[in-house]
Chain A
């Protein structure tokens, strides 16, 4: 207490220095030294005429986050401003180009031990926002770049806000929604760097507006929003005044949310609760309820899981292998199929000169069209202009031969999954590429060392396993062999990061990490289908557990032939641990041409332009022919869900045990971003931590008793359980 009072007292001197600034250089210097000592670390402010310009600049960070320090400094500054006669209005601006406030500090919330702590934090925040909302002096928030969560709250209640981002469309939309009042376009170069001048300009404009508001020369009109045609708002507020209507609205919204989240994500429902409390019992009750519910939410498993994923993702967005010796500027993609064209698409729009090579003109044209369509869809959504599309598309060269491969810095092959074909292209390519060129193989299951076995330069061979559709799936699994050089890995990670991917780097082995985890679960899927659970029921059980895509649908999406291929290969490699379902099911499906979505039929029937899917009735006889009797003791809905998930988790743990995986974090990111492992569970390792290793082992033992070795828990899990250890400390 004493210390804080002393600081408060000294700060008054610091203030004096500001007012003295114009009078005497000498005194000023004296005082300003003391003010430098006491300078706030996140916020400083100066006064231009009668406008206080508050600059937010969190030290040693690329972004400003709403942490406790920043909040308290901000409140101090605001109190000074409200108390000052000199100041008539204020401008709030960030000194960081491209970031206003990126939201609440996730670490601050993660550090809390009890719901009460979080509630208190939240209340402090609320108080701040309320004070801002009721500010007697106009406040203009000059926002440049990302402004999320709490950042938006700081901006929005402020009297007159503006926003600016590099992406005009988004700022445009914010204006249409009525979130912001004015837009400032980014500036080009002047006599100083564009970013610097743009912030300066934003500040100048904001100061003008602040003055205008204080002098009542500019009035606040917030009726520009799209939804906001006045009669509509009036009508809405009238209707919402009737309790019965309100109840109906709550019910409807709740239904919607339940349907979308399947009750797995608690936050949206609590938000509805809070809004309800606010409307029914008044603002204060609403605020109280908001902070309490926020406190409760922060302590949930889901919150911990999601925060964990956030940290994992941050980790997987870094290149821990360092800067590659040579920057990759030109890449070549072999094979213009779905994957190859997808890889080309995420490369060209990052400015990589890309050759797309295929064996046939038809295949090549299809691939080029896929890239064009991907870009053109962005034009339709107005995130790209047609000119930008054409400019980007120009980075793509389609060809049938190896012309210009001597300029390639990296070749990514995405030809058919056949080891002989892969060998053939590797040998062909090595004849034409320069010495420094990396050869990356996009394969989901073929071991990289086997592919590299015919290479003259195995240190330059690496696996880059993309996920389909490449432009939507964030994960990239990079596979290194013992011979792969560190620089090659650094190059591959650098390219992946440029392509916007979240990257895990794993060791070589059958199925690497992702495919290997998925395979035993798929084997169990087949077993469950054989036991007479229909695809629809199976899908609802898996999505009910949090998987974004149902298990049967997933097989259709991946492709039944691919699944069969993988199951055969990995079955050979891992033997009985991958047993369970009968491969015969997939074989019969392939022979009947039921390859999943791509052939129009799999477990379901797919028609162009039709969203709802019907079961493929031709599958009935196939399934009937392979039926086995279920084991009632492990066939409850919950058991079925856990049979699937526990095999997945067990295999993931084994990958860590065998050091295929370097860290549990990468395992979690790979499972969630690549395979759709339920995000609310945070990934297999986080799931073990939160659910309890012992409980998982117990379940596995129970299923082992019923089915056999495919459920035998791996040593690592057993050790974790017996030692009571966690993957994440």
Chain B
């Protein structure tokens, strides 16, 4: 603890000093990110709309292979996150890996945890390495919202299955006679929280209201996200983006959802969920996105032995969960103090914050919750608030609102943004945090790899 107080006395300027201790723990393997890539995140229904999820995942994987030159037989395991599953490729990790040129001897599995699925893929890998089961892991995530599985209704499905089993013409006819026109009503994938039947946007609007976040504040925050993303894109800071030659179409080179507008324009939009007086609109929410990301994670000794120059350490991480009704999107509030405590850091030690932006209102509500002693004491069982992250260190290269949010792939983008920002801006610790459907959340400390 002494070094923490010592550093506190130095103030919290985001300048990396050589006196800082790293978060390495005795007897625990250091785990590093060697490289991470993502194909451009696109508004769904645009250039990727005719592809399948494993096509996107494959593109990210093969780009990673090319960029890192990692010998395919070295990779011990591949893990991918995804949310809306294409039923034909339910283990999308395996289908994509096979096509991307990884060894067919490398096992692959798919994980799902809503918007923190890719985080779960990464931390699963971290676990495998830390426990000595593996040395080299590829983790990633993919989402294709341009196409979602729309099913026949349960009644129709039941009839079709029964028809399959029917042996005689009589049985078949009697089954068919039970057919009603409403059997044809299709079933869309759930857009609502299963436990509460509330859509996420609706919950976000209520959350914003709970914390008295105004429409203007939300629009301003969204505008900031788009402006910063545009700037980062123009300055070429988004170095994890790799070009993707879409079969039959042009090569996609950059994210296409970044659209800095004006507050006046944004103010014209009607509320999207709570009508007519809500505050969450299309302009201050993240949009449906197609995209994929992938990352090469190794034990530090292995990476060094192979001659790699790692980008960052993956340090402590936590998963949290809370009431899926009224605190659906407060994951970062719960996860942040916990992960900081675990790592022995305070908010002031963090040089780069990378939070998932589901909605402006959600981010701002989290800020207010993190800045409230009352909330910390009454809902989190903590003595005091953790504090709200300083905006000048927060999502400086844009976020999910502007860059896009392919559910299963965002986690890797957050970690790569933190790692790349630390390298560029010269900080030591990054904090990644995200909320997820189901009232869950995640946070992880990223430590820059010494140059």
Contact = CB atoms under 8 A, between A and B. Distances in A.
B27 interface: no
A182 interface: yes
Given A188-B323, A189-B326, A205 B212 contact: no
A182 B274 CA distance: 11
B196 interface: yes
A385 interface: yes
Interface in A353-379: none
Interface stretch (B93-101, B110-118, B229-237, B367-375): B367-375
Interface string A171-205: 00000000000101101111111100100110001
A659 B376 CA distance: 55
Contacts of B372: 191
A201 B209 contact: yes
Contacts of A191: 211-212, 368-369, 372, 374-375
B326 A194 contact: yes
A126 interface: no
Given A191-B368, A191-B372, A182 B277 contact: yes
Nearest to B327: A188
Interface string A191-225: 11110010011000100110000000000000000
A185 B274 contact: yes
Contacts of B327: 188-189
A387 B375 contact: no
Contacts of A208: 277
A209 B209 CA distance: 16
B254 interface: no
B325 interface: yes
A533 B375 CA distance: 71
B277 A188 contact: no
A40 B396 CA distance: 54
A190 B368 contact: yes
B325 A197 contact: no
A188 B326 contact: yes
Interface residues of B, number: 26
B206 interface: yes
Contacts of B34: none
B274 A190 contact: no
Given A189-B327, A189-B375, A190-B212, A385 B207 contact: no
A164 to B, nearest CB: 12
A192 B209 CA distance: 12
A194 B194 contact: no
A385 B325 CA distance: 13
B195 interface: yes
B410 to A, nearest CB: 24
Interface in A206-246: 208-209
A325 B128 CA distance: 51
B196 A188 contact: no
Contacts of B369: 190-191
B197 A185 contact: no
Nearest to A189: B379
Nearest to A385: B197
Contacts of B375: 189-191
Most buried by B among A187, A189, A385: A189
A385 B368 CA distance: 31
Contacts of B206: 185, 187-188
A481 to B, nearest CB: 45
A187 B274 CA distance: 12
Most buried by A among B194, B210, B327: B210
Contacts of B365: 190
Contacts of B202: 185
B367 to A, nearest CB: 11
Contacts of B196: 385, 387
B380 to A, nearest CB: 11
A265 to B, nearest CB: 39
B253 to A, nearest CB: 42
Contacts of B325: 188
Contact of B209 (A187, A193, A387): A187
A387 B212 contact: no
Most buried by A among B323, B365, B374: B374
Contacts of A182: 276-277
Contacts of B194: 387
Interface residues of A, number: 19
B378 interface: yes
Contact of B212 (A189, A194, A197, A209): A197
Most buried by B among A188, A200, A205, A385: A188
Contacts of B368: 190-191
Interface in B265-320: 274, 276-277
Given A185-B274, A205-B277, A208-B277, A190 B210 contact: yes
A201 B196 CA distance: 22
A200 B212 CA distance: 10
Contact of A194 (B195, B197, B210, B277): B210
A188 B197 contact: no
B446 to A, nearest CB: 30
Contacts of A205: 277
Nearest to A162: B277
A55 B443 CA distance: 44
Contact of B195 (A187, A197, A387): A387
Contacts of A194: 210, 326
Contacts of B378: 189, 193
Interface in B183-203: 194-197, 202
A162 to B, nearest CB: 10
Interface string B147-178: 00000000000000000000000000000000
Most buried by B among A182, A187, A191: A191
B338 to A, nearest CB: 18
B262 to A, nearest CB: 23
Nearest to A191: B372
B280 to A, nearest CB: 13
A197 B277 contact: no
Given A194-B326, A385-B197, A387-B196, A187 B277 contact: no
Interface string B403-431: 00000000000000000000000000000
A118 to B, nearest CB: 41
A185 B369 CA distance: 20
A627 to B, nearest CB: 54
Nearest to A185: B206
A202 to B, nearest CB: 10
A191 B371 CA distance: 9
Contacts of B374: 191-192
Interface in B338-376: 365, 368-369, 372, 374-375
Contacts of A209: 277
Contacts of B211: 190-191
B212 A188 contact: no
A193 B372 CA distance: 12
A209 B277 CA distance: 9
Contacts of B209: 187, 190, 197, 201
Contacts of A387: 194-197
B215 to A, nearest CB: 11
Contacts of A188: 206-207, 210, 323, 325-327
Given A192-B374, A197-B210, A201-B209, A187 B326 contact: yes
10 closest Cβ pairs, A-B complex: A188-B326, A190-B210, A190-B211, A187-B210, A191-B372, A387-B195, A205-B277, A201-B209, A188-B210, A187-B209
Given A187-B326, A189-B326, A387-B197, 12 more contacts: A182-B277, A184-B277, A187-B206, A189-B327, A190-B365, A191-B211, A193-B378, A197-B209, A197-B212, A201-B209, A201-B210, A385-B196
Interface of A: 182, 184-185, 187-194, 197, 200-201, 205, 208-209, 385, 387
16 contacts: A182-B276, A182-B277, A184-B277, A185-B206, A187-B209, A187-B210, A187-B326, A188-B210, A188-B327, A189-B375, A189-B379, A191-B368, A201-B212, A205-B277, A209-B277, A387-B196
